[in-house]
Structure 1
Amino acid sequence: MLLLSALVSSLVLGSRAQAAPAPTNLTRSLASVSQRSVNTGWDYGQEKVRGVNIGGWLVLEPFITPSLFEQTGNNDIVDEYTFSQYQDKSVAQSALKEHWDSWITEDDFAQIAAAGLNHVRIPIGYWAYDVSGGEPYIQGQADYLDKAIGWAGKHGIKVMIDLHGAPASQNGYDNSGHRGSANWATDNNNVVRTKNVISTLAKKYSDPSYFGVVTMLALLNEPATYMNDQLLQTTRQYWKDAYGAARYPYGNSDKSGLVLVIHDGFQPLSTYQGFMSEPEYEDVFIDTHNYQVFNDDFVSWNWDQHVKGICDKASTYSQSPMWLVVGEWSLATTDCAKYLNGRGIGARYDGTYSGSSYHGSCDDKSNDVSKYSSEYKEFLRKFYDVQVQTYENNGQGWIHWTWKTESAADWSYQSGIKNGFIPSDSTNHQYSYQSLCG
């Protein structure tokens, strides 16, 4: 999940550049689908991706499960790194095992399928496979990933495995595993280790036993390339190198059968014109994340402005030079969810975030769905409809962040269904695209 610093919130999310005119994503996709050399068992380019992220499970996030962090009694525990670092190992290990066993079960996958969703994106950190740098992380996540893949296959759901964290952090966000500085690009060994994890994942999940279930592999989540040129250039080279590691994971000319996904790095989609293009690079998607909460301008918008903000994305998305999926988005219009900006960090909406202005009280926002007014729930339904239709009409589809939360209802697809502001059938739109965007 995208937890942006004050720096990126004004530079990136508030002022994305418009893409230059180019063949539309939809035209390109339909023209290319018959020529695709990778067979995943899913008709990308014909069938829309409709999915949810399985957030806060195999990569911890304080805003998704606040209680897991609060029960430690240590305010310095703010991410998965410190969760393992600042507790007795046996205590942390026991807590993690209980969390892995209970937070997501097969029943969740049954509910996801029943909601008309066809994909899940499952974040996992590099540390599930490699702690050779002496990191304090506790391992065991890989076995649960395999369980989830089994449940997905049973319920007819496709899986995107998403490498959510890299050594030394690619963005400094808590969801990278280690909050603070983004030092991934400062040491080439970090990049090599990341690429090796990708090779491990691609080699395993390209096995025929996973065919038609594991269909996509995301090479790295949200590298914060706006921070400095070194990170930008390292990331662009990494995409190419990681593509090679993932497409040819066997050390010979045999190809993996996965669709490979890069992230836009918070750069305008137009900057990817001509980047990793066919035929040299086959079946590559670009993932963009769309939130309207991580700067003061966004949280000051009224409901109509939030809807218009989505409609305004249509042109940029339709002109994407690569196959586009919106791999993260939510219904939140404030950053009021507890710990959303990080444990111990306040919210822009109520002015408790450093340097922010007061826009309103968080008392009836995000955390307690019982306080949502009927008008707010009606808006959330409209906000759902405008987003999914915009993402489907102008790209390959969408993956909502996230399936479930302990309390942040406007971030939870499951809670949205339960409380009536997300439809129980993802294709059932109460508001038409025409009525919302004209």
Structure 2
Amino acid sequence: MRSLAVIATLCGLSAAWMPGVDRNIYSKEGANLFKRISPITKRTLPTSGKIRGVNLGSLFVFEPWIAENTWSNMGCGNQASEFDCVMNVGQAAANTSFSNHWDSWIVEEDFINMTTYGLNTVRIPVGYWLREDIVYTDSEHFSQGGLSYLEQVCGWASDHGLYIIIDLHGAPGAQVAQNADTGQYASSPGFYVDYQFERALEFLEWMTTNIHTNNNFRNVGMLEIANEPVQDPNSVGELTSSYYPNAFTRIRAAEAALNISQGNELHIEMMNEKWGSGDPTQYLTDNWYAAYDDHRYLKWDTSVPVTPDDYLNTSCNDDRGGNWPTIVGEWSLSPPDDVQWNSDWDPSTNQAFYQKWFAAQVMTYEKQEGWVFWSWKSELGDYRWSYQDAVAAGVIPTDLDSLYNLGVC
């Protein structure tokens, strides 16, 4: 166990891999990305020092609701998840369709736009099937060949000075039931058994090694070890007692085998206690470079009255504290489905409200270590789920510091 004095440095976020710290990060041409033309000297906004980012949703873990047209054009229409699509269209056809998708959904220009918009971070959801040798090919059906595209995307993000979080979004066996964001629309969560944990640990070891040995991954500073597990600590006790401690041990062992210095180790991210899957620190004996993920969607919080004023008030006063350091890794501007097109919520006529609600959430989440919006893009025709569309609509400013001058909270 490392000394308490060393672990305590995390509270000051002196970690070398976090944005806002004096760490030299280089482009593929060898240029120091911290030494840009004045006044930008770091890859974070000068006054915030916070993570300000977007998720690359539906890139490597496809959620059909985000991009139904693309899903249909891939031959996956009426299929609930990647697993179902690959099983039904066949491996060869699926590989071609998904390759075309990876090659077009996110391109280098997206990262140029992100930096122009004042963003400094991308979170990339991935599935365990990126490591193809741990997939049970006789019973599991996933696209193949994604790793080279992940390398390309991370290379672009690194070239443009963005901090990268890689998130194990789809775990072996599915960590929740009936949700395409695990990669499979499983009838029950099958992740919480030892042999599935072991496959996830093998994935994390492999990804850790890739991150530290492949120059395209040079700006990856955080590895999230399980996205949104079941919100019932009584039924997933081994998540905190077994999987989390073993993930720390295996990731650090992989880094030790590569002689990675302590200051260059990855942050290891877990869902925070507010998520409802238990205290992630309960069984950890060493939380060096631990980080915590908080997802905050008011649209599914039934305790909040569904009015614009109540949403603003809630977001202004929302306490997301607890585990430290916490990043609000998913959130949006979407209200509940049954009111989202009503006159009070229609995005075409309520831009002023959505700008205020965006500002309220940003200011609250920056009381923690920052935020990552869901998502960068969608095909919904609805900027409430698409950062780039919200910028185009004038709802999100490109000068994010200006949000503090709106007097919202």
TM-score range, shorter chain: 0.7 to 0.9
* Offset from partner CA, 1:166-196 (integer Å, 9 cap, x none): 1110012210111233433443111100011
What CA distance in whole angstroms lies between the structure 2 residues aligned with 1:63 and 1:262? 26
Deviates more, 1:210-219 or 1:170-179: 210-219
What CA distance in whole angstroms lies between the structure 2 residues aligned with 1:95 and 1:74? 9
Task: Verify the 8 A CA contact 1:385 1:431 in the aligned structure 2.
Answer: no
* Partner residue, 1:372: 347
Task: Verify the 8 A CA contact 2:210 2:217 in the aligned structure 1.
Answer: no
Q: Which amino acid aligns with 1:40?
A: W
Task: Verify the 8 A CA contact 2:155 2:215 in the aligned structure 1.
Answer: no
* Partner residue, 1:284: 290
* Partner residue, 2:115: 113
CA-CA distance at 1:124 after TM superposition: 0.7
Q: Indicate which of 180, 185, 203 corresponds to 1:174.
A: 180
Q: Trace 1:252-267 onto structure 2 (pairs within 5 A).
A: 252=257, 254-255=259-260, 257-264=265-272, 267=275
TM-align CA RMSD: 2.9
CA-CA distance at 1:115 after TM superposition: 0.6
* Partner residue, 1:14: none
How has the CA–CA distance of structure 1 residues 311 and 81 changed in structure 2, closer, same or farther, with 3 Å as cutoff? same
> Which protein has greater RCO, CA pairs closer than 8 Å, 6+ apart?
1
5+ long unaligned stretches in structure 1? 1-27, 336-348, 350-359
* Partner residue, 2:61: 59
**SS of residue paired to 1:242:** helix
* Partner residue, 2:408: 436
Kindly indicate whether residue 50 of structure 2 is the aligned counterpart of residue 48 of structure 1.
yes
* Offset from partner CA, 1:55-98 (integer Å, 9 cap, x none): 01111011211113334677651111111111133332222122
Matched residues, percent identical? 28
TM-score w.r.t. length of structure 1? 0.76
How has the CA–CA distance of structure 1 residues 112 and 205 changed in structure 2, closer, same or farther, with 3 Å as cutoff? same
What CA distance in whole angstroms lies between the structure 1 residues aligned with 2:281 and 2:206? 29
Task: Verify the 8 A CA contact 2:169 2:181 in the aligned structure 1.
Answer: yes
* Partner residue, 1:387: 361
What CA distance in whole angstroms lies between the structure 2 residues aligned with 1:431 and 1:380? 16
**SS of residue paired to 1:229:** coil
* Offset from partner CA, 1:379-407 (integer Å, 9 cap, x none): 11001100111111x21100001000012
What CA distance in whole angstroms lies between the structure 1 residues aligned with 2:19 and 2:365? 18
Task: Verify the 8 A CA contact 2:171 2:191 in the aligned structure 1.
Answer: no
Task: Verify the 8 A CA contact 1:274 1:321 in the aligned structure 2.
Answer: no
Q: Indicate which of 418, 427, 433 corresponds to 2:392.
A: 418
Kindly indicate whether residue 383 of structure 2 is the aligned counterpart of residue 409 of structure 1.
yes
How has the CA–CA distance of structure 1 residues 115 and 188 changed in structure 2, closer, same or farther, with 3 Å as cutoff? same
Q: Indicate which of 192, 198, 204 corresponds to 2:198.
A: 192
Q: Which amino acid aligns with 2:372?
A: I
Task: Verify the 8 A CA contact 1:116 1:427 in the aligned structure 2.
Answer: no
Q: Trace 1:29-44 onto structure 2 (pairs within 5 A).
A: 32-34=12-14, 36=15, 39-40=16-17, 42-43=19-20
5+ long unaligned stretches in structure 2? 1-7, 23-47
How has the CA–CA distance of structure 1 residues 108 and 431 changed in structure 2, closer, same or farther, with 3 Å as cutoff? same
Deviates more, 1:395-404 or 1:326-335: 326-335
CA-CA distance at 1:216 after TM superposition: 1.1
* Offset from partner CA, 1:264-290 (integer Å, 9 cap, x none): 37545994576637xx22111110100
What CA distance in whole angstroms lies between the structure 1 residues aligned with 2:153 and 2:176? 27
TM-score w.r.t. length of structure 2? 0.81
Q: Which amino acid aligns with 1:90?
A: A
Kindly indicate whether residue 108 of structure 2 is the aligned counterpart of residue 133 of structure 1.
no
CA-CA distance at 1:208 after TM superposition: 7.6
Q: Which amino acid aligns with 1:152?
A: A
How has the CA–CA distance of structure 1 residues 208 and 67 changed in structure 2, closer, same or farther, with 3 Å as cutoff? closer
What CA distance in whole angstroms lies between the structure 2 residues aligned with 1:83 and 1:257? 37
What CA distance in whole angstroms lies between the structure 2 residues aligned with 1:79 and 1:152? 27
CA-CA distance at 1:30 after TM superposition: 7.8
Q: Which amino acid aligns with 1:175?
A: D
CA-CA distance at 1:144 after TM superposition: 1.0
* Offset from partner CA, 1:279-327 (integer Å, 9 cap, x none): x2211111010001125555x610011112212323xx24x23211000
CA-CA distance at 1:212 after TM superposition: 5.3
* Partner residue, 1:237: 242
The count of aligned residue pairs is 369
Q: Trace 1:205-220 onto structure 2 (pairs within 5 A).
A: 205-207=211-213, 209=215, 213-220=219-226
**SS of residue paired to 1:248:** helix
Q: Which amino acid aligns with 1:422?
A: I
CA-CA distance at 1:252 after TM superposition: 4.3
How has the CA–CA distance of structure 1 residues 296 and 180 changed in structure 2, closer, same or farther, with 3 Å as cutoff? farther
What CA distance in whole angstroms lies between the structure 2 residues aligned with 1:70 and 1:265? 38
